[in-house]
Structure 1
Amino acid sequence: MNCSKAAAEKKNTFRHFLTREKTEPLLTMLSSLIISFCIIAALLLLTGYNPVFVFSTLFTGAFVGEVNISETLLSATPLMLLGLAVAFSFKASLLNIGVEGQMIVGALAAGAVGIYLKNMPAFLHVTLSLSAGMAAGALWAFLPGYLKAKRGSHEVIITVMMNYISFRVSAYLLNGPLKAPGANIAASPRILPTARLPILITGTRLSIGILFALLTAAILWYMFRYTKYGYGVEAVGLNAHAAEYSGIKIDRTIITSMLISGAIAGLAGGVEILGLHYRVYDQFSPGYGFESIAVALVGGGSPLGVVLSGLLFGALKAGSVNMQTVAGTSKDLVKIIQAIIIFFAVAGFSFKNLLAGLRRKFKAQEAVLPGGE
């Protein structure tokens, strides 16, 4: 009797785990990673590499030693912030493809304040610089949000167009008004020391920017879990007509969602300039904005998932150098790994549908059987 009772309890525990909707993003992410690395291991074997050795060199280059860990976190910081920006727009059923452009204008604004505002205390200077970056990113996202809310224009088309405009604006400013005197490249003067983010780990390049990414994730988690506004954003994303019927203002929610998403992207630009480059370069981003869409997808759109996903992609970037040097793999292997992970993350939505079916099945059984046994 005791054995059968214990087995029944384990079965009910498993059912409860599957029927919890909040476990879906975690299960999707884990299943995508497991399948991806199995596929990658098979490809490595077929090409004559030892997958255990290759993965160990990747792990060593990303997580063994203070410098390697700091480089992983450094690479992960912009991906986390931009991934959170994209994920926030996902919640309102919007696709903010324009985070790359919003990051660029945020970097320009933060850099300008960091260069030209002088004789200020460090805390105030950093605060104003980052605030300028967030404001610029939000303003850059306002037009797509407004056109979506008021005119029904597709936000993907508008944000892509805004990206190209930001590229041209950046090139003009950094080859003209913002160009450093005597510079032979398109770059601004160096920002003042008072505007630079403090280094988090002495002897490394890692600044406190990573803390801004983690704080942003915590704020978004709290917002969606405990605030009326967060509930409204999710309601609009799930069913706009039902949300409107319940009294939520759809237009305002769409516009503010894009503003917040743009502000987070602008913060990412400010953190990159104030915490790493110390000046604004033309095309300083290697495509973080577009990679962040993958980060948001792999992370399941949840703040915690995006942080873990950003850490994963940061580790791939930081560990790839050691993997190429020690294991002798191609520099393109990391991009192949990323592509496979992204593919199975997108395919993971099918897995989520399977879980939804299991939930319905188990709940139906529990409704029929007394006590859910």
Structure 2
Amino acid sequence: MEFIQANNYPIHFNEKAYEALNKHLKETKYSKIFIIVDTQTNEHCAPHFLPLLETDLTVEIIEFESGEINKNIDTCIEIWKVLTELGADRKSLVINLGGGVVTDLGGFVASTFKRGLDFIHIPTTLLSMVDASVGGKTGVDLGNLKNQIGVINVPLMVLIDTHYLETLPQNEMRSGLAEMLKHGLIYDRQYWEQFLDLTSLDFDTLDTLIYRSVEIKNEIVKQDPTEKNIRKALNFGHTLGHAIEGYFLDHEAKKTLLHGEAIAIGMILESYICLRKNLISEAEYIQIKKTIQTIYEDVDFETSDIDPILELLIHDKKNEYGLIQFALIDGIGKIIINQSVENNLILDAFKDYKS
């Protein structure tokens, strides 16, 4: 697969990814290499990656506990301290080996330590391959508020190796699939239609689908790197999805949802809103809802859950001038941004989901 050129950095795939990395290491004079991992990727992914790294430099691994609950400023502080203790300087390189939590947090750590170190992303989950590692967003959560603290700062390169997916549980694969579904819904109807029947999906097909998903996100981000306009299209399903994810994360009685699981719910809810606003047909809505519900288990919402979820919408980072902003599909494959939605319509969407 040919590399994809993003804004100021390349995205390399499979074997060619390591060739590009090692070529860069030979051509650039770094002082040390720091690999940021979580407990899962240190166990399952580092053993594959380290033998492929060609360097005589000192390599240090910095590990933190896996899980969205650890994507916070306290974890950053601990990593900044370790970087300091291990003698990291402005000529050090950070490699983030992991899923979206690692790439988001590791990118933020590197972007802010000593006012910025070079960093490279090696996403190891389907979700991070098609979403988190592409586009330059870095950051951490503030309590149960998703991605409230962070900066947009691009890596030197992104290396996508689908070998890492062989260690991924099915629920993590489904989580990443949600973003791929979203890319089809907002940008490419033909791409969306490839997901209507997943019975014949194999790794070769998945490679091609991942490549197209990265292309779609990159095509959008290149037009609007700092999310002032069309990049907001990528927020479809995320306005309600992030609020649901944050609410379930903060309540011990609730089963924590993976990002993609929450976004899948968000896409159903926001598709219903599109239906009510006459942006999509009933047939399109039924197709979207049926396809997503075939892949993801339904989640039970109590009546008492809805108001706290709506309250979290107020803090969504996509809001402007105190108004909640939605990106909505205008027919499958097209998007409109900066849409306001009345609370009663959101409540109706939850009722329809529960039905």
Query: TM-score when scaled to structure 1?
Result: 0.25
More strand by share: 2
> Which structure features the higher share of helix residues?
1
Higher relative contact order (CA 8 A, sep 6+): 1
Structure-2-length-normalised TM-score: 0.26
